[in-house]
Amino acid sequence: MDGLTRFDIAEFRGTLMVVVESDLLPPDPTVVIIPLLPDYPAVARLNPVIEVEGRKLVLATRLIAAVRRAPLAKVGTAKGAGDAITRALDVLISGV
């Protein structure tokens, strides 16, 4: 699906995910995402809890992946949690 931007929440076959790829990159058929899971073990700063439609979901940062855009459907935004998501990526990459 075209039009996905950073911190959008997308869904594919019942799994929600947050787009973390920069909007400044050129178009590509794939996009970098992090899944949002209900029962993922949370580690402070690495796995922030994000509320989506009244459900508290854990950002499964270590499961970061690139997926094809085409089958994704935008279902919301996590822009309000953008700082926490960026910090989680910093912790994943640098450990701090």
pLDDT tens figures, 54-94 = 999 999 999 999 999 999 999 999 999 999 999 999 999 99
Return the residue matching tokens 């700063």.
45
Q: Residue 21 is part of a domain; what is its CATH number? A: 2.30.30.110
- Assess if residue 68 is contained within a domain: yes
**Nearest Cα residue to 71 out of 26, 7, 10:** 10
Average pLDDT, the chain: 95
CB of 58 within 8 A of CB of 37?
yes
Confidence of residue 28 (pLDDT cuts 50, 70, 90): very high
Using CA atoms, how far apart are residues 73 and 75, in angstroms rounded to an integer?
A: 6
The structure's pTM equals 0.94
- Assess if residue 63 is contained within a domain: yes
- Assess if residue 1 is contained within a domain: no
Can you give the C-alpha Rg of the chain in angstroms?
12
- Assess if residue 19 is contained within a domain: yes
- Assess if residue 74 is contained within a domain: yes
Q: How many domains does the chain have?
A: 1
- Assess if residue 3 is contained within a domain: no
* Domain hosting residue 20, numbered range: 8-94
- Assess if residue 30 is contained within a domain: yes
